[in-house]
Amino acid sequence: MNEPSVSIDGLGPLPRRRPDNVAELGEVVREASRQELALYPVGGETMLGLGNSPARPGVAVDVTALESVIDYPARDMTITVQAGMRLARLQELLAPENQQLPVDVPRPERATLGGAIACNVSGPRRFGYGTLRDYVLGIHVVNDEGAEFKAGGRVVKNVAGYDLCKLLVGSLGTLGIITQVTLKLRPLPDEQALVALACPDDGLAAALELLHGTQTRPMCLDVLNRRGAALVEESSSVPLREAPWTIVIGYEGNQDTVRWQVRQLILELRGRYPIDSWLGRLTRPLWQALAAFQAHNAGDDWLTFKANVRPAQAAAFCRRAAAVGADMAIQCHAGNGIVRGHLLAPLGQARDALTALRAGAQDGKVIVQSCPTAWKETIAVWGEPGPDAWLMRRVKEQFDPRRLFNPGRFVGGI
């Protein structure tokens, strides 16, 4: 089925194909192969800015018609659905059974499950729950010949063969088009709580060290600089204290456990920091704003980066990033060493900022999640390829020797 065209990083308009089933998708792949056209998988189009510019013309393959529930044995706490399902719809299906997929995906009303898996999207609660790699039990993918292959299964205890599920998570659609996924689920919490503390600039490292040693078990440990807190406050309409740094600690679980943890944390902090807290429904706007932070984009001349550093280096890296520019908005998942930032700046300043950030990451990694298309000619989106680049190329050659899927968009031009 033909749909309105789509452009990706200035390439286009690309004709859009929206197959109604897997058989039609296979035919779209075979037709593109015959015509030597590239295939660019699209879903909710929330992450199209991630990656290098496309290498050659082709066809946008819209998977949003593949949105059926295949199997939902709720007692087994697993579900099998097609990959075009929106994340918000998935959570709606799970809620009556008091279950959830505990992975934060921005714009869930648009984002598809397959797209989130391809980009390995995660958010604030990855500290307590992990990432999509921890929840994908089985996966179906259409390969470069238009045939569907599968990996994993529909049960939790499945250890046969190579773990291709983890390989496909985060592959940016370069190895095939995901069509179906089996997910492990978690119970919905009875209670939620958020605690926000205001922290001075020179006290960030000490505060995080204290929180890393807490007797409580946070699901979320997020750090916001002043500009980042302003974005979250604007998005949630929840007032936060004015401070150089705001640390947000989140808890989920049964009511008694969550409330004990909030009291225990306050005792451990011993009045060192100004504190605000929220319980139950009052937490939702702030949780949603923290999850949505990474998708903020105010328009042209915005650079969005994602850094992976050691958790012990998170405070120093955050302070270095904040010093890059007054308009830098920062969110750090401090328990995992994931730092995201948005910088409003012209190209020259953005390039210098990125150089400084990569130098400050030490043995970590800094990538560009989004920026103006023209900048990608002079900014290395993925940074310098690592020592494993040869292996990634070999995997690409084995899965997609025709270079049909998202050519040029991944690390090293894969």
Q: Which amino acid is at 91?
A: Q
Three-state DSSP state, 382? coil
pLDDT tens for 368-405 read: 999 999 999 899 999 988 888 999 999 999 999 999 99
CATH at residue 207: 3.30.70.2190
Please report the pLDDT score of residue 160 as a whole number.
54
Cα–Cα dist 53/50, whole Å: 9
Contact (Cβ atoms closer than 8 angstroms) between residue 218 and residue 128: yes
Range of the domain at 52: 2-64
Question: What's the whole-model pTM score?
Answer: 0.93
**pLDDT tier at 1, thresholds 50, 70, 90:** very low
In the chain, how many domains are there? 4
Last residue of a domain, one of 266, 292, 318: 292
Please report the pLDDT score of residue 161 as a whole number.
54
Please report the pLDDT score of residue 12 as a whole number.
84
> Same structural domain for residues 51 and 146?
no
> Same structural domain for residues 48 and 91?
no
% pLDDT > 90, the chain:
88
> Same structural domain for residues 168 and 198?
no
> Same structural domain for residues 341 and 371?
yes
> Same structural domain for residues 223 and 172?
no
> Same structural domain for residues 49 and 21?
yes
Cα–Cα dist 414/405, whole Å: 10
The more confidently predicted of residues 366 and 1 is 366
CATH at residue 23: 3.30.43.10
Tell me the sheet residues that pair with 366.
307
- Determine, yes or no, domain membership for 12: yes
The predicted model gives 156-175 an average pLDDT of 80
The predicted model gives 290-303 an average pLDDT of 85
CATH at residue 362: 3.30.70.240
